[in-house]
Amino acid sequence: RILILDYGSQVTQLIARRVREAGVFCEIHPGDVDAAFLEEQQGLGLKGVILSGSHSSAYDEASLKVPQKVFELGVPVLGICYGMQAMASQLGGTVSWSDHREFGYAEVRAHGHTALLKDIADFVTPEGHGMLKVWMSHGDKVTELPEGFVLMASTPSCPIAGMADETRHFYGVQFHPEVTHTTQGRALLNRFVNDICGCSNDWNMPDYVEEAVARIREQVGTDDVILGLSGGVDSSVAAALIHKAIGDQLTCVFVDHGLLRLNEAEQVMTIFGEHLGVNVIHVDATDAFMGKLAGETDPEKKRKIIGREFVEVFQEEAGKRKSARWLAQGTIYPDVIESAGAKTGKAVAIKSHHNVGGLPDTLNLQLLEPLRELFKDEVRELGLALGLPHHMVYRHPFPGPGLGVRILGEVKKEYADLLRKADAIFIEELRNATDEETGKTWYDLTSQAFAVFLPVKSVGVMGDGRTYDYVVALRAVQTSDFMTADWAQLPYSLLARVSSRIINEVRGINRVVYDVSSKPPATIEWE
């Protein structure tokens, strides 16, 4: 196993991800763990330590120090950015403060033949120097090597961009090998964990399930746990994982706000209640939600109403489970970064998302978040390993307020019923249409696709009669991070089929339009 000590960098989780991708088990712990903890890790078969980057300065007396014990464990240590500086300053080198921050792309010359960088290069200069294309982000830098270290990498503005003590197997890099912008980063981390630390690359998702199950059992003991199940990927995987760990100690509360997709409630109840045998309480709160939403047209107010009502209904159900001590949530790593950004005011709230950290403290429950360290694709893989159906695990994301933000203006049950039918047709056709070039379905080729209900009426003609009915807009986007998105260039024939089916099959809709706006300046949802 590899231990990652965290000094507060935004990208520490990426280190863990890369180590997992190398097929090696790792855990992240705070940077100030004590000697007893480190000895315990040693007993568990610790093979190496990685020190993360940080926002603070190794030069600053108040900043965290690396526990000296780390350097006495006899295992290889890799310091990244701040981790390298802390290593340098604690082992007798010098770190200098700088008010000039170097940030972004850099080309680093890899010196000599250290075990870490040997034969790893992006290109070789005419003079025969191996060069690495890397991502740098630092202010301070190491200006004097500690005893026993040799220079491993340099740039003109950062003469000591890498250092190595090959006897003790201590390495430091000023750049970030964990981010994809450092093209050889993966090779470097693989080299460290597999070759230098000697970890075999046989750790995989089923192993992860076993470890996560053991951790959950240890954490909750014989206590009861409740979980808000939405049917989305994250809460579903969390539910399946926790159920595997503690069985009937878990109760899921599935709040149906009446703004779900067609047959969604039935599907959730079938998969969890019947197939997996999870205790699920289905609360049909449609009337309560519709009542609260009546007359409200403002998107943000609608979100708040839905969020508040959700919490209320959930809390009432949870309150009935007197024995529950834990509240489980499907928080995944990107949520953790996003809400950290929101707390520090770095991320501007364009739309308030109610499902992250929205549940109140008044329940007096401890938080159980078993997916907190995983990225979305890892959560999906975990879901498959737990036996969840592929279509559920690879489903497009669905917003917490559901159709509430896809019915423009006032939400009415009648509108939701029309929209559900139109949306189901669109999704069915996307799943059935295969792109010849890639062999993938258009559902898989789009990141998110849905129908939007426009509460305006337009004139149409059907048979001999005139119609005066509502409009539905189709939205399909392609994106990797949902921060920016392109509208999907769906084939005309597919759009034609969807339009014709919706107009013919959904009485009350007589016009279908396709949204050709990208984000920015538009957003993915219409509200």
Binding residues vs ligand XMP (CB under 6 A): 303, 350-351, 353-355, 397, 399-401, 405, 448, 482, 519, 523-525
Question: Which residue, 405 or 509, is less far from ligand XMP as judged by CB?
Answer: 405
The residue annotated as part of the active site, out of 176, 257, 353, 354, is: 176
**Does 402 count as an annotated binding residue?**
no
| CA angle (476 as vertex; 515, 410 as ends), nearest 5 | 65
| CA angle (27 as vertex; 110, 69 as ends), nearest 5 | 75
The count of other CB atoms within 10 Å of the CB of residue 318 is 21
**Does 235 count as an annotated binding residue?**
yes
Instruction: Work out how close the CB of 166 gets to ligand XMP at its nearest, in angstroms, rounded to a whole number.
Output: 48
Known catalytic residue at 437: no
Question: Which residue, 353 or 380, is less far from ligand XMP as judged by CB?
Answer: 353
Rounded Cα–Cα distance for residues 444 and 525 (Å): 19
Question: Which residue, 68 or 484, is less far from ligand XMP as judged by CB?
Answer: 484
Instruction: Work out how close the CB of 277 gets to ligand XMP at its nearest, in angstroms, rounded to a whole number.
Output: 28
**Does 405 count as an annotated binding residue?**
no
Instruction: Work out how close the CB of 184 gets to ligand XMP at its nearest, in angstroms, rounded to a whole number.
Output: 33
Question: Which residue, 196 or 524, is less far from ligand XMP as judged by CB?
Answer: 524
Question: Which residue, 133 or 396, is less far from ligand XMP as judged by CB?
Answer: 396
**Does 200 count as an annotated binding residue?**
no
Instruction: Work out how close the CB of 307 gets to ligand XMP at its nearest, in angstroms, rounded to a whole number.
Output: 8
Instruction: Work out how close the CB of 485 gets to ligand XMP at its nearest, in angstroms, rounded to a whole number.
Output: 7
Rounded Cα–Cα distance for residues 134 and 170 (Å): 20
Phi and psi at residue 305, to the nearest 5° = -60, -50
Q: How many CA atoms lie within 13 A of 372 on its CB side?
A: 14
The residue annotated as part of the active site, out of 81, 197, 199, 252, is: 81
Nearest to 376 by CA among 1, 5, 17: 17
Strand order in the sheet with 279-284: 279-284, 250-256, 224-228, 324-328, 366-368
| Distance set, CA 136 to CA 118, 161, 173, 181, 342 (Å) | 20, 9, 10, 9, 25
Rounded Cα–Cα distance for residues 348 and 37 (Å): 39
Which stretch of DSSP H or E encloses residue 132?
Answer: strand 130-138
Question: Which residue, 47 or 303, is less far from ligand XMP as judged by CB?
Answer: 303
Known catalytic residue at 390: no
Known catalytic residue at 178: yes
**Does 517 count as an annotated binding residue?**
no
Q: Report whether 75 contacts 104 (CB < 8 A).
A: no
Question: Which residue, 79 or 399, is less far from ligand XMP as judged by CB?
Answer: 399
With H, G, I as helix, E, B as strand and everything else as coil, classify residue 467.
strand
**Does 447 count as an annotated binding residue?**
no
**Does 195 count as an annotated binding residue?**
no
Rounded Cα–Cα distance for residues 8 and 32 (Å): 11
Environment class of residue 101 by beta-carbon count within 10 Å: exposed (0-12), middle (13-18) or buried (19+)? exposed
Instruction: Work out how close the CB of 62 gets to ligand XMP at its nearest, in angstroms, rounded to a whole number.
Output: 38
**Cross-strand pairs, 512:** 472
The residue annotated as part of the active site, out of 111, 138, 158, 178, is: 178
Instruction: Work out how close the CB of 352 gets to ligand XMP at its nearest, in angstroms, rounded to a whole number.
Output: 6
Which amino acid would we find at residue 105? Answer: Y
Q: Which residues are documented as binding site?
A: 230-236
- Residues flagged as binding site for ATP: 230-236
Active site residues: 81, 176, 178
